Amino acid sequence: MEQVGIVKKVEGNEVVLEVRRVSACGTNCSSCSGSCEVAPHFLTLENKVNAKLGDMVEIKAEAKKILKYTFALYIIPLVFLILGIALGNGFFKGRGYENYELLSFLTGIIGLVISYVVLKILDNNMAKKAEEVLTISRIL
């Protein structure tokens, strides 16, 4: 994955980049007349290429790492939600509750909340590893 950013600030060995997000419909919005406003996103990355204020730089990301993080972000909550519903259904139906479906749904929501706690812990562990997902590859 490659993206272009503009250096907005240089802070020691790091730079703050303004990156324009690509809209969902593509890079050329003139074809749909939707007038989509794509807000910029700001990133702080290590300045390995000695970029200066105002430089345009190429940002690269390893597809394998992006897919790993995306998988965790979407699949872990889904698994916890489904497990919560299934476990709640088995527990409350087995105990003879009349409204076991609603209670199962609420158990699934609790599982979803727990998944976000798990994701936060995983995020903190990945941050400690200082694994670089995005890097500045060159000045354009």
pLDDT level of residue 28 (50, 70, 90 thresholds): low
Q: Is 0.75 topped by the overall pTM?
A: no
pLDDT at 23: 57
Highest mean pLDDT out of 16-20, 53-57, 80-84? 80-84
Please report the pLDDT score of residue 51 as a whole number: 87
Select from 19, 74, 22, 64 the least CA-distant residue to 42: 19
| CA nearest to 89, candidates 79, 104, 102 | 104
Structural domains present in the chain? 2-61 (2.40.50), 63-131 (no CATH)
**Structural contact between residues 113 and 26, judged by C-beta atoms closer than 8 angstroms:** no
